[in-house]
Structure 1
């Protein structure tokens, strides 16, 4: 769970379930209760601890009753997600205790959300703002956004547009696309701060980073075309284009919006077809793809081979998708518009890596030489720019739950549909894949794929697979 890192309990991670229980019985160790509880719930270390959610929760409740802070925080997030009727009072009690003891931005923002949304009275909204403010000052991108929104609207604090812009700009820098939209709204409509070109550019940035209010942007442009037509042409490097009428400008702009909308929709459909992470991201997560995009550009490219493989597997799975391709294609075009050749080069490097993984799998990069060959920014080529994953503060906490969300969302039919052709990789649809009659281990979507795979590799593999 986010902000509750079991890896900090290094001295207990290699203990078996029986050894941890013995430690609890002899020393009354709450740390052991926490480790065994988390492992039993998550089931990611079955050699040491068997998966048993009910038992894991019981261990954590016991530790929490003894004021074990990490157990309280873990249980708060677990109860929110998995309890059929979450005990709000208990959850808020856990979180209040956590924030008294440590600076957990997620605990602060979660508790703030409860105060603002669960309890509507003025005192609760003031408390919610106070909690968001503390998390924002610790650099949390969710909190920066909400402090900006609340200051903009005068909720929980006096309305202060100048201060709201400061927090929203910070959230935007961190990758919060909702902040881009809020800045658009501020500069488009707030008396005394109106700046239509600035508003327009924030809205365009939001659209190009997975904020999906496509028609609203077109309507805003049409309404303010006299002020914005030059900005649009400048953004697209068409300042010298000779256009006789506003209607032609509108048509060009409509084509720009429609292209982004269609490409995003097509990318999402493909990811839904192949059961990739973006297909399971609701509106509360999809806009945060920009966070991962920035992380890959600024940090992942600087990792050594091992850290890169870990990041692809654990940190940025949503980027390894058609939506990720769409995002980096937009980044390439935007940096071209800005004339930043180095930024174009970095975005293209990310784009090439994602496309290669989609085509050949992460296995392609298991050979270190291939990684360094494709990554122009790896430590081998830019020694002074190396970053170590264990030292990086960023944690992709908002995406950790995707794997579980995927499993929870898939019906048995969807699992069946996840079967892929062993030659071309296409998933099973309405036409069922055929099983190899000899080894009964691999599937094919067509006789042609079976023939091609037989010639390529399966002729040698089939006998070995039959023996398994």
Structure 2
């Protein structure tokens, strides 16, 4: 009987010592990364995708510990395998970093395409950028515009800026400085540097906004 109670007690202690990701994040905010690191690692071992991604970012930025991109890569790969779209997105960005040993344009393209097909909004924007630059795939400006539009409709700020550039430069669409003005202005509400650059480079203040284009209607969910 004593042995039975002993194991019940051990199980209770083990259970009560486990914490949630939110509790670990609270510890980090109060006491710093190092105090929360062990909790994140325990949660990551239990396949908690939030903890896996947070750990990946800690190693990527070297927050209170030595920067370790190898650990970041392993963690993002694990998170992506578990179905975490955000982890998959950042893994794709690692694949696009030419300074890293993981650089692989084809893997990046396939990963962002998979995420786009799963309706992950940031991946729409990244697919557009890949198609404009021809990174790991033939350039296709018209298809890039379609991806930028999907991201823009979902409210992704950088996609507004990319569309402003496409309309101003006439890539994949007929040049329309009024519409470029409209998209750039929308992104400038968030002080996005690309929108500001496009607005200044093409002197879009000279062109009245496209009155036939209703941005609020455009951004309504389909």
Instruction: Provide the TM-score with structure 2 as the length reference.
Output: 0.70
Shift, 1:151, TM fit? 0.9
Distance 2:140 2:72 in 1: 32
Q: Deviations over 1:184-227 (max 9, x none)?
A: 2222224563322433332233334533555752552479x6xx
Residues 157/38 of structure 1: CA separation in 2 closer, same or farther (3 Å cut): same
Residues 128/22 of structure 1: CA separation in 2 closer, same or farther (3 Å cut): farther
2:27 aligns with one of 43, 50, 63: 43
Shift, 1:149, TM fit? 0.8
List alignment gaps of at least 5 residues for structure 2.
1-8, 218-222
1:58 aligns with one of 26, 32, 38: 38
Distance 1:153 1:159 in 2: 6
Distance 1:194 1:34 in 2: 55
Alignment-derived partner of residue 57 in structure 2: 77
Answer yes or no: is the 8 Å Cα contact 2:180–2:204 preserved in 1. Answer: no
Q: Does 1:134 align with 2:114?
A: yes
Alignment-derived partner of residue 220 in structure 2: none
Distance 1:135 1:156 in 2: 16
Distance 1:168 1:55 in 2: 41
Distance 2:134 2:73 in 1: 25
Answer yes or no: is the 8 Å Cα contact 1:39–1:45 preserved in 2. Answer: no
Instruction: Provide the TM-score with structure 1 as the length reference.
Output: 0.37
Alignment-derived partner of residue 76 in structure 2: 95
List alignment gaps of at least 5 residues for structure 1.
1-20, 238-336, 344-468
Structure showing greater relative contact order (alpha-carbon pairs closer than 8 Å, 6 or more residues apart): 2
Distance 2:58 2:114 in 1: 23
Residues 52/152 of structure 1: CA separation in 2 closer, same or farther (3 Å cut): closer
Matched length: 204
Residues 68/52 of structure 1: CA separation in 2 closer, same or farther (3 Å cut): same
Q: Deviations over 1:154-174 (max 9, x none)?
A: 113221112211110011111
2:123 aligns with one of 132, 143, 147: 143
Shift, 1:34, TM fit? 5.1
Residues 101/186 of structure 1: CA separation in 2 closer, same or farther (3 Å cut): same
Larger radius of gyration: 1
Alignment-derived partner of residue 460 in structure 1: none
2:199 aligns with one of 186, 197, 217: 217
Residues 222/116 of structure 1: CA separation in 2 closer, same or farther (3 Å cut): closer
SS at match of 1:194: coil
